[in-house]
């Protein structure tokens, strides 16, 4: 069919001016509709936004941030406050029940076999003196009872009889005798509390008590030390540690030391008067740490004096026996954290303060006026010392009657390289009196465990019927009456569940 439009009509259409049309390069090319005219063909092209922001001349940009609110921080603890809190000793709990008819530890009760297995209280008048010698430890559970007490076990009664004999009392007095013991045992068997009982008995008998509460403090490298001139091999003195020992000795034994006068001549202390007491002598040591070791030597000479020097016989009095205790003996059987001038480790036996106490274990009468040496090992904080284990094993074999020349006598293993100085401390002693003994603490018997657990029930910590069956169960769970495990089992409060009362209408 022919189109209605002819060529003449098409040629008469008015053409579009060139000024209105966009340039050929900017006009989009549309191949599908050559006669299509849309707005996209005549719109201006969009400009790209520049990433740079133009700033005015000398106009700065200020960074604005939101201020965080100030939070008030707690005051940091003072120097030594955390350590004091960690080592704080609490000896009383007002919430605990008071045990009626509880007897105190006295010169009569400490040898009474009828009180075996019962708990006796520590005399209140001696608590300050026991604190002075640091007899209490933070983790011994003193804060769960109304007042501090201790159980009288078989080992305690035997030790009480020894104090009675050495003091010159009782049926068979042995005044002037020296008892030397190394106390060992399992963890929680009561080694440190055994030393506490010994200190209490010594105070009751008016003995002089000298203690080293933690042997690790002398070898941990925290105390100042200096070499002694002219000593071969080189020995070292610790003036601050000696001064601290003199402070403990004066605070705990002031009643005895203040009544004893100086009876020997001490050229190293020219300022000491003949009328001075032993307390005045000891106070010179912690007033000036530089002369602490000289003062300690003078005090030790005075306490072991059996007669006065010429010209000083007027005020001489007999010296009382002494109790020397050391806790943590194994720390003195290895090398210390101190260093020599060539940066080699210093052995504990090269510290003259440590050597003095270790020399008391050897043969001879180290305490001329009698007394007792109790050195305890520690299992909670104990360094590994093979030489000490061999020495204690040989000591136990000799007590069992095994001769050192026998084949059954224990010997160090081949190529073990034991420390000869440590083994020398435990060699056989020819002296009949004052020979070193080994005492191993075990668990409580069933009767002693029952008396100990009854004390928990009377204090309100245990709300169960304490009978033979129940005591036997706890005795077995505690590893055969280990007192530390018994304390864990007895300190938990158990209450029986009470039935809920039903209303009267529901009951009917």
- Predicted pLDDT at 14: 60
Domain assignment present for residue 467? The answer is: yes
Q: Tell me if 242 sits within 8 A of 353, measured CB to CB.
A: yes
- Predicted pLDDT at 463: 80
How many domains are there within the chain?
Answer: 2
- Predicted pLDDT at 83: 86
Domain that holds residue 273: 82-441
Are both 455 and 433 inside the same structural domain? no
Label residues 107-143 b or e (16+ Cβ within 10 Å = b). Answer: eebbbeeebbbbbbbbbeebbebbebbbbbbeebebe
Angle between helices 154-166 and 191-204 (to 10 degrees): 30
Angle between helices 278-287 and 239-257 (to 10 degrees): 160
Q: In the chain, helix, strand, coil percent, each to 5? A: 35, 10, 55
Are both 430 and 462 inside the same structural domain? no
Are both 419 and 479 inside the same structural domain? no
Sequence-distant (≥ 6) Cβ neighbours of residue 330 within 8 angstroms = 215, 377, 378, 382, 383, 385, 388
Residue length of the chain: 508
Whether the pTM exceeds 0.85: the reply is no
**CB-hemisphere CA count at 13 Å for 152?**
26
Kindly state the helix (H) or strand (E) to which residue 212 belongs, with its residue range: strand 208-212
Q: Tell me if 446 sits within 8 A of 475, measured CB to CB.
A: yes
Are both 191 and 338 inside the same structural domain? yes
Q: Phi and psi for 119 in degrees, rounded to 5?
A: -100, 125
The three-point CA angle 286-287-288 to 5° equals: 90
- Spans in the chain with pLDDT lower than 70: 1-63, 170-172, 364, 430-433, 492-508
- Predicted pLDDT at 507: 45
Domain assignment present for residue 50? The answer is: no
Pairing relationship of beta strands 226-227 and 236-237 according to DSSP bridges: antiparallel
Domain assignment present for residue 105? The answer is: yes
Q: Per the structure block, which two tokens stand in for 85? A: 């809190």
Walk across the sheet containing 178-185 and list its strands: 208-212, 322-327, 371-376, 178-185, 436-441
- Predicted pLDDT at 86: 87
Are both 394 and 298 inside the same structural domain? yes
* Residue 13 CA: distances (Å) to CA of 7, 22, 38, 54, 86: 11, 20, 19, 51, 108
- Predicted pLDDT at 433: 61
Are both 103 and 154 inside the same structural domain? yes
Domain assignment present for residue 423? The answer is: yes
Domain assignment present for residue 161? The answer is: yes
Domain assignment present for residue 55? The answer is: no
- Predicted pLDDT at 57: 56
Are both 382 and 482 inside the same structural domain? no
**Where are the strands (E) in 229-341, listed by range?**
236-237, 322-327, 335-339
Are both 472 and 360 inside the same structural domain? no
Are both 455 and 434 inside the same structural domain? no
Are both 460 and 345 inside the same structural domain? no
Are both 126 and 201 inside the same structural domain? yes
209's torsion region: left (phi>0), alpha (psi -120 to 50) or beta? beta
Q: Per the structure block, which two tokens stand in for 440? A: 């191993």
- Predicted pLDDT at 506: 46
Domain assignment present for residue 122? The answer is: yes
Are both 147 and 259 inside the same structural domain? yes
- Predicted pLDDT at 230: 86
Domain assignment present for residue 3? The answer is: no
């Amino acid at each position: 069919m022919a189109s209605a439009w002819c060529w003449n009509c098409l040629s008469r259409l008015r053409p579009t001016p060139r000024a209105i049309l966009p340039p050929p390069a900017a006009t989009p090319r549309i191949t599908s509709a050559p006669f299509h005219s849309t707005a996209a063909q005549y719109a201006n092209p969009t400009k790209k936004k520049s990433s740079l922001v133009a700033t005015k001349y000398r106009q700065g940009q200020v960074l604005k941030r939101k201020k965080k609110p100030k939070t008030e921080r707690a005051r940091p603890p003072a120097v030594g406050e955390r350590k004091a809190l960690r080592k704080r000793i609490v000896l009383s709990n007002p919430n605990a029940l008071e045990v009626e008819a509880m007897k105190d530890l006295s010169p009569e009760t400490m040898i009474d076999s009828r009180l075996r297995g019962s708990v006796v209280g520590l005399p209140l008048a001696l608590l300050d003196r026991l604190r002075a010698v640091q007899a209490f430890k933070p983790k011994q559970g003193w804060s769960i009872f109304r007042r501090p007490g201790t159980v009288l076990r078989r080992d305690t009664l035997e030790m009480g009889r020894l104090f009675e004999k050495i003091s010159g009392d009782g049926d068979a007095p042995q005044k002037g005798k020296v008892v030397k013991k190394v106390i060992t045992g399992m963890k929680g068997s009561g080694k440190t509390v055994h030393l506490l009982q010994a200190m209490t008995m010594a105070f009751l008998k008016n003995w002089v008590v000298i203690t080293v509460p933690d042997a690790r403090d002398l070898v941990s490298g925290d105390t100042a030390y200096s070499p002694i001139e002219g000593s071969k091999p080189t020995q070292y003195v610790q003036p601050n540690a000696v001064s601290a020992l003199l402070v403990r000795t004066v605070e705990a034994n002031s009643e005895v030391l203040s009544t004893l006068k100086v009876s020997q001549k001490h050229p190293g202390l020219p300022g000491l008067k003949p009328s001075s007491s032993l307390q005045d002598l000891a106070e010179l040591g912690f007033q000036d740490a530089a002369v602490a070791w000289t003062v300690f030597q003078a005090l030790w000479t005075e306490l072991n004096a059996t007669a006065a020097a010429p010209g000083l016989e007027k005020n001489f009095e007999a010296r009382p026996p002494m109790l020397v205790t050391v806790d943590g003996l194994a720390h003195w059987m290895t090398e210390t954290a101190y260093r020599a001038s060539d940066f080699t480790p210093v052995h504990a036996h090269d510290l003259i303060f440590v050597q003095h106490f270790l020399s008391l274990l050897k043969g001879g009468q180290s305490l001329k006026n009698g007394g007792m040496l109790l050195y305890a090992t520690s299992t909670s904080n104990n360094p590994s010392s093979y030489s000490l284990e061999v020495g204690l094993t040989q000591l136990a074999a000799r007590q069992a009657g095994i001769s050192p020349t026998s084949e059954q006598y224990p010997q160090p293993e081949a190529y073990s390289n034991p420390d000869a100085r440590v083994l020398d401390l435990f060699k056989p002693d020819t002296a009949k009196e004052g020979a070193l003994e080994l005492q191993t603490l075990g668990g409580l018997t069933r009767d002693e465990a029952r008396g100990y657990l009854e004390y928990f029930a009377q204090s309100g910590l245990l709300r169960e019927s304490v009978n033979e069956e129940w005591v036997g169960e706890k005795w077995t769970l505690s590893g055969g009456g280990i007192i530390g495990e018994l304390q864990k089992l007895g300190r938990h409060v158990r209450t029986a569940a009470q039935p809920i009362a039903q209303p009267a209408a529901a009951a009917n």
